[in-house]
Structure 1
Amino acid sequence: MRQKRAKAYRKLMHLYSMSFGFRQPYQVLVDSEMCKVATAHKLDLVKQLGSVLQGEVKPMITQCCIHELYLQGKEQQPAVDLAKLFERRKCNHREPIPGDDCLIGVVGDKNKHRYVIATQSQPLRVKLRSIPATPLIHINRSVMVLEPPSDATLKAKEATEEKALHAPPSDIALVGTSNPEDHQPKKQKGPKGPNPLSVKRKKPLSDEPTPKQKSKGKEVSTVSGMKTAAGAKRKRSEPADESGEDNIRIQHIVETDAGESDAVKKRRKRRRKAKTEGDRSDEVTLV
């Protein structure tokens, strides 16, 4: 198929889809004459229908049309074999009737089931042109042709557009939409928060030491040659007395934890004893 013709057929099927709700796979009703012509020209009917309608197709045939092929004898056996591959459409006719009358009864006045009619019968095509939203296909010299929209189809399209244009806001509906999920409102995207990996961690509000500080162990500080444990509080000595003594008394209040070992206590006791003995020796020398 040429590109120009394929583009025209694509626009035409887009019209039927948007204005009348046609959806893929398109339901194609085939009559007995179309089967005979396709076998005579050795055409792949399903493939040709898909290329003309520009989408997936589901060929169907009524019981009355296939009964016409049975009546024509063994000469039309290839056409019968082709018709058996299609889906059987129930027409609810107890006794077989001519194929043209059967297709008109199946399509109805408005083609509410959205059938595409593939027929070689000229009288049938003339009758179906008066029914709006009815695409027609026929074979012309081994070339499958999709007919342009009829006047009834164009009038029905204008009527639906005019009705949608002047409808009240509460009753406005998109024309030819059968799936409500296609027109759901999109979610509005708001401002996003910062990347949690690039944000600094918050400082703890309590004065308790962090796990990192606890892992460091006890801090050691020296004051006049004496070491104090972590968590010890230090008080400044009182000002010097009026007698002019230069002794600076430093009182260390050590808050020992309950879990300290006995060895640490003994070591601290020895340091205090050594300091007191040093102070006494200084007083003796001064005297």
Structure 2
Amino acid sequence: MRAKRSKQYRKLMQQYAMSFGFREPYQVLVDAEIIQAAARFKMKLGVLLAGALHGEIKPMITQCCIRHLYDAPATTDQERREKEGWIEVAKQAERRRCGHHELHEPLSTLECLTSVVDPKGSGKNRNCYVVAAQDQEVRQSMRRVAGVPLMYVNRSVMILEPMASKSEKLREMEERGKLKAGLISRRPTGPGGKRKREDEEDEDIPDRARAVIAAEADGGVRVGSEPAAKKKQKVKGPKGPNPLSVRKTKKEDLKPVARQVQDERAASRTTSKSKPHVVEEEVDAELDEEGDAMGGAIAATKKRKRKRKVKGGAAVDGEVAEETAEALTV
């Protein structure tokens, strides 16, 4: 049960921090009655307050409340010792000047705390006070002020009351306002927040350039009555195949003469299949032509043989010269 209650108190203080601006150290206003109740149950008041609020605290007491402790009746020695203990605990807290010390008699706890928490009667806890009061009437009055966490002691247990209905309504209204503002417009950045890229670009553009851009967006006409050239929109068509998956084309390295020879051979193969007698005639004609060409070449070589001179100076035919050359070599 303690863990569950602690979790609820932590969540409740987070809500107070988000909606009403509470932060550590929490300013806790204590009255005379809660000091007396904590001493009766032998409780360490500061430790229990810090544990319930889940953070550092700054205990504070008004001048009227500490005067109530001094004015408490004490007839026996035990009552005097208890009274001294109450005053010692009150002295450890910071003195909160309420401005009632000049009065002959101190104000009641309700009047004094109300004047400190809500001095102008606006119904708001502007200084973010946490009120630790044992008097039920005081707590009931403080529930009418928005954003006041209330604490009291119940059978040696420190209790943090749930958020009052008025505070809950204000918190819900604030949350709805934040949600609505976030949906309608952009969230305003604080002094340490980051600006968006669009805002930075808009600030860098001069006024005239911004007006030209706006005019182009509206009708395509510039400010100085100069027609603005509309940007050509790219026509999106069907995408081609992936170039990595397409088969590469073969380069034509063949020369035109070799290509012509291949075409002729291919044509001859087709004719040989369809008309074999024509092919035989062509082959015979080619052989005859080749024979004639070979005979002419032999005759040309014979004619080209030159006469060589022998040592004696007489000119002989090529055959004789060859025989003499062979004899010499031998």
- Normalising to structure 1: TM-score of the pair? 0.59
1:186 deviates by 9.1
1:103 deviates by 0.4
Which of 78, 91, 94 in structure 2 is aligned with 1:87? 94
Q: What is the CA RMSD across the aligned residues, in angstroms? A: 2.3
1:263 aligns to what? none
Bigger Rg over Cα: 2
2:210 aligns to what? none
Letter in 1 for 2:34: M
Letter in 1 for 2:138: L
Which of 120, 125, 142 in structure 2 is aligned with 1:128? 142
Residues 1-287 of structure 1 mapped to structure 2, 5 A cutoff: 2-74=2-74, 75=79, 76-93=83-100, 94-95=102-103, 96-108=106-118, 109-167=123-181, 169=185, 172=187, 184-185=193-194
Structure with higher RCO (Cα < 8 A, 6+ apart) = 1
Number of aligned positions between the proteins: 181
Q: Are the equivalent residues in 1 in contact too, given 2:109–2:138 (CA < 8 A)?
A: no
Letter in 1 for 2:22: F
Counterpart-to-counterpart distance in 2, 1:187 and 1:58: 40
Q: Are the equivalent residues in 2 in contact too, given 1:24–1:56 (CA < 8 A)?
A: yes
Higher percent of residues as strand = 1
1:173–1:119 distance in 2 versus 1, CA, 3 Å: farther
- Normalising to structure 2: TM-score of the pair? 0.51
1:2 deviates by 1.8
Identity %: 45
1:101–1:160 distance in 2 versus 1, CA, 3 Å: same
2:319 aligns to what? none
Encode CA deviations 1:193-242: one digit per residue, 9 max, x unaligned: xxxxxxxxxxxxxxxxxxxxxxxxxxxxxxxxxxxxxxxxxxxxxxxxxx
- Structure 2: gaps of 5 or more residues: 198-330
SS in 2 for 1:27: strand
1:7 deviates by 0.7
Letter in 1 for 2:97: K
Letter in 2 for 1:34: I
Letter in 2 for 1:78: G
Encode CA deviations 1:16-50: one digit per residue, 9 max, x unaligned: 01111100010000000011111111111110001
1:187 deviates by 11
1:160 deviates by 1.4
Counterpart-to-counterpart distance in 1, 2:177 and 2:196: 30
SS in 2 for 1:142: coil
Counterpart-to-counterpart distance in 2, 1:86 and 1:127: 24
Q: Are the equivalent residues in 2 in contact too, given 1:107–1:115 (CA < 8 A)?
A: yes
- Structure 1: gaps of 5 or more residues: 175-179, 189-287
Letter in 2 for 1:105: S
Encode CA deviations 1:140-190: one digit per residue, 9 max, x unaligned: 0011100011101100101212233334647x569xxxxx67x633999xx
Counterpart-to-counterpart distance in 2, 1:153 and 1:112: 13
Counterpart-to-counterpart distance in 2, 1:161 and 1:92: 37
Deviates further, 136-145 or 156-165: 156-165
Counterpart-to-counterpart distance in 1, 2:88 and 2:12: 32
